[in-house]
Chain A
Amino acid sequence: MAAAACADEIQALDKAAAALAGVDGADAATRRAYLRLRQARLSGVLAELREADVAVDAAVRRYPDWPDLSFLRASADLDMHQPEVALARLEATQELAGSPAGLELRGAALEQLGQHSQAEDCLTRALVADPSWQALASLALVRAALGDREAADALYVRAEDELTAKQMSAFAWVRAARADLAAAAGDHEAAGAHLRVASAAFAGYWLVEWREARLLSQQGRLDEAATAYTAVRVRTGRPDLAQALGEVHRRRGDDEQAARWLAIATAEYADSAARGEALYRHHRDPR
């Protein structure tokens, strides 16, 4: 695996998008919007996620009846933390409602809403039709939310087993999720091992680097955590990382840096809210 697998994949997505430039039709529009969304997800750059969201919107406006775009729109709604909107969209698109992909997405939306029982039902039905890694991982999230870490990890293991060498970013995502589980149980050693595998599998993935920074923080390795958080924050511009960085500095006793970063986070949360986004509405003023 190349040292910068994530950067390589983002570049490949760029090329794929360029190849579609000027191609007309709902199919090409869907693929272009999907490629942008995927790039944004892999880069973690908030501004790119917003731009991708706009691109998905534009495609939906152009081809309102294309079900793939409805699916993509619902998927992007979840990125933007709008599970109610995603659910409404899925329900309005009859063809998606009962499909494995639709059930999976619905399950993810219900999970985001904390409706665990309904989410579990949806995902279990999706798995009967198609034992996809996505449904397994979503179900793992539900089990984890319900406190059953062992079952959650077993589901993540099953999800991993469904993934091939052509899906290394997904593999890294699953390993990062397993690291979360382990860390939540206080097993920092296992969490670190999962993150090392994730990083080796898909180097340069912000999501993994974020978890690495958080684990360092949890382990009390605050200087290293600050360095790691700074690196991811610089690349992605995400306010929650600014908040995390501020909190690490506070624990380090650097009140000046802590105040600075927490103020940045607060301002960016407010900016997001002013845009009408739901992304950070559950984040309170961290100061």
Chain B
Amino acid sequence: MADHNDPNAVNSIFSDIDPSAADVYDMFGFPGPDESQGDRVVVALTFASVPDTGVFDTDMLYRLRMYSHPRAAVTGDESRDLDTLRRYIDGVRGTYFGAESAMEIRMTVDDRGQATVTFHDFPGGSFSATVPVGEVTAIPAADGLSVDAFIGGRDDAFFNDLPGFFRSINYAPQFYHVPSTRPDLRELPIPKTLLELEGNDLFNYNPAIPDLGWGVKLDLPPGPYTWSGNSFKKDAAGNYRFVYDGRDARAGQNVNAIILEMPLRFITRRPEVDRIVDIWGESWVRKASHKVPEIPDHPIWHEHPLAFLSPDHRDKQLDGYKLVDTVGQPFADAGLSERENNRQLGANNFWLAPHFVKRLAHLGWGFGPSITALGLRCSFDTGGAPVSVHRVYRTAVEAFPRARKVIFQRLNMPDDSWDRRKLGIPLRRPFEIFVPNVCALDMDTTGTWPFGRRLEDQVANRFLSLFLDMESAGAGGAAYHVETLSDQALWDAAPIVPKTSPNPLKNDKDFLPHFPYLAEPW
């Protein structure tokens, strides 16, 4: 036979790069503004608007998972060592039942444009509802409660200088055509940095090609793909050049979204106790075997996935899908998991903890010297390195000492407005934020990151603030906080161009003050 080389004959190695409805973007979670009938929880999952804005891929299933629990008791300032981290991971893994016992909401859209939303294991029971796409709908639930739902296209609520981020980590595919067969040529072994490196011609801003990385890609020049310089780049006036320019790479672009607002009482019978709502999202794509059309007597013909709500049948529904992407914390994927497919674990990312330590240390060697060069105090121990260093670690044990403070320091907030009920809620620490990988919404806060995630949060600047030393006071006596890098005065005073916050400070469209909160699509 002339085809026995197959399955290579239907190999899709070169065809898997198109935008995919399975690409989940962001998970937002914050308290709803109307508290007249008790706390309300807003959750929004956004993903690529494929096949089109407001038009959903009928092969997809989106899953929002939720788990409510009390706020953990305040822990003392325990030893900052790997053993403490290990005990935390073990403790969370041993006592955190979120992944197994979470409530969940599943959403599919049929070819008539009707969304089916199924609620599983909520205190009032399990049920499903049909929701028209693109309309705000109130879904009646048990106990006289109701869930507001919007499933449709919106403006992308993420505002970020993504090319700047990719420049900071020397991520070649943003700027160059990189062979699919060379995954080693994605993050090139050049020091990660917030300031351009002298002689880093592959990634430094090139005024002759101003749109490089902004839609323009070149063929990847021949190597070497390393950097052998010894200083940050400075202009004639002595200014460093930022890898960021503060533009919003997602301006004017849309997403498809699932946006829900529900009473906290709908999620837990003990709303006064269960003040934390962990939220994470997943995309699943239908398996080929479950797309085969109606064949008489084929078992799946008798088991239409949405026809059943009992746990057994739910499993059958998920059996017909394949998990593709997960989202909980911003930057847990792009920043820490390096977008690896096998790291799409959702909340169950415990085994990644050693990788996070190594990755944070790797990033610290890059970003740390950039921060100190600007006269800022850094939480990563650079050992006085004058310029960014490319260093990778084989083990967390090796990496940990340098990254100790990055991992353990409490992340200061700019003021106390986030603690809206003045309960003295402890500040969160990076290791608590990223493991498990969930958006852990604290209902006694405003839900601003890291106590949830509000639409207006500039999470990229806040992620970078992990590398600021938040424990020692600066010259003016003020401690750094998660919004320090969003302070224009800092950049105005720094020897750097352009004088911009790393990332844009607001979205391209104003958010709505009411449900569904995300702006109308373009």
Residues of A within 8 A of B (CB): 1, 25-27, 30-31, 34, 38, 41, 65-68, 70-72, 75, 78-79, 81, 83, 95-96, 99, 101-102, 104-105, 108-109, 112, 133-134, 137-138, 141, 159-171, 173-174, 177, 196-197, 200-201, 207, 238, 240, 279-280
Contacts and interface: CB of A to CB of B under 8 A. Distances in A.
24 contacts: A1-B291, A26-B219, A27-B177, A27-B179, A34-B15, A38-B15, A68-B181, A78-B8, A81-B2, A81-B5, A83-B5, A104-B8, A105-B8, A108-B8, A134-B7, A161-B289, A162-B322, A164-B286, A164-B288, A164-B322, A170-B10, A197-B295, A200-B293, A201-B288
A101 B222 CA distance: 22
B181 A112 contact: no
A98 to B, nearest CB: 11
Given A1-B293, A108-B8, A160-B289, 11 more contacts: A1-B292, A27-B219, A68-B181, A71-B181, A75-B5, A163-B289, A170-B10, A177-B6, A197-B292, A240-B1, A280-B2
A201 B291 contact: yes
A163 B287 CA distance: 6
Given A164-B285, A166-B285, A134 B5 contact: no
B314 to A, nearest CB: 18
A172 B472 CA distance: 63
A30 B220 CA distance: 14
B272 to A, nearest CB: 44
A133 B181 contact: no
A108 B2 contact: no
A258 B298 CA distance: 39
Nearest to A236: B2
Contact of A165 (B12, B182, B184, B291): B291
B8 A66 contact: no
Name the prevailing secondary structure of the A interface residues: helix
B9 A173 contact: yes
Contact of A161 (B13, B182, B287, B298): B287
A269 B286 CA distance: 42
B101 interface: no
Contact of B219 (A25, A34, A78): A25
Interface in B423-438: none
5 tightest A-B contacts by CB? A78-B5, A27-B177, A171-B288, A163-B288, A165-B59
A95 B8 CA distance: 19
Contacts of A279: 2
A173 B6 contact: yes
Interface in B165-224: 177, 179-184, 217-219, 222
B497 to A, nearest CB: 32
B288 A67 contact: no
Interface string B1-30: 111111111111111000000000000000
Given A160-B289, A207-B3, A26 B10 contact: no
B8 A200 contact: no
A200 B292 contact: yes
A102 B181 contact: yes
A67 B219 CA distance: 13
Interface string B267-305: 000000000000000000111111111110010000000
B7 A170 contact: yes
B456 to A, nearest CB: 35
A75 B173 CA distance: 24
A165 B287 contact: yes
Contacts of B4: 112, 141
A104 B8 CA distance: 9
A88 B9 CA distance: 19
A158 to B, nearest CB: 12
Given A173-B10, A197-B298, A200-B295, A108 B5 contact: yes
Nearest to B219: A25
Contacts of A83: 5
Between A1, A104, A134, A166, the greatest number of chain B beta carbons within 10 A of the residue's beta carbon is seen for: A166
Given A75-B11, A166-B59, A171-B288, A240 B2 contact: yes
Given A27-B219, A112-B4, A279-B2, A41 B9 contact: yes
Contacts of A134: 7-8, 11
B360 to A, nearest CB: 26
B22 to A, nearest CB: 9
A65 B222 CA distance: 10
Contacts of A165: 59, 285-288, 290-291
A280 B287 CA distance: 36
A75 B8 contact: yes
Interface in B409-423: none
A199 to B, nearest CB: 10
Contacts of B292: 1, 171, 197, 200-201
A173 B287 CA distance: 15
B155 to A, nearest CB: 26
A31 B7 contact: no
A160 B5 contact: no
